[in-house]
Structure 1
């Protein structure tokens, strides 16, 4: 079987070092007894990161196609907002300040 993709030596080195680093960190976590809690956190962070990447790719694709739903927004600001994990809508922030108990009315 022939591979269509031929990675460079630098790419292989980066992949192997990332795998090695991950294995070492998992072994250290198992020794400390925090592996279950940390693996859940890592899994959730990974899912959130993948979701962010999909959103950014979709936004770029919509800009490229000239979709009328997204063309009205400034591309750079929208992509910056999508990449920022700590971004909150201003309306939500104002509501949180007005209603600190988070009780919906």
Structure 2
């Protein structure tokens, strides 16, 4: 089982993490921060996996190998309300797939 800071990482919770500006806001913000590794033009599918910790921070971000994102950019999108289960904040693994237009 996956854990972070000694706590089990959940994939299903009573109250999932929520980005400060909702899912649409997250998709907009992250699409502005990812950069292609090579000269790419057109829409590229990008898959993200990350953990929202009990304080609402993005941790352990993984993403498709055709793009890059800086550590500073990841910190800028660490504005989530933590997921909750059993009335307490718990770490939650998120998977988000999206298309990003380059060029």
Class of the TM-score when normalised by the shorter of the 2 chains: under 0.3
TM-score for the superposition, normalised by structure 1: 0.21
- Larger strand percent: 2
Which structure carries more relative contact order (alpha carbon 8 Å, separation 6+)?
A: 2
- Larger helix percent: 1
TM-score for the superposition, normalised by structure 2: 0.21
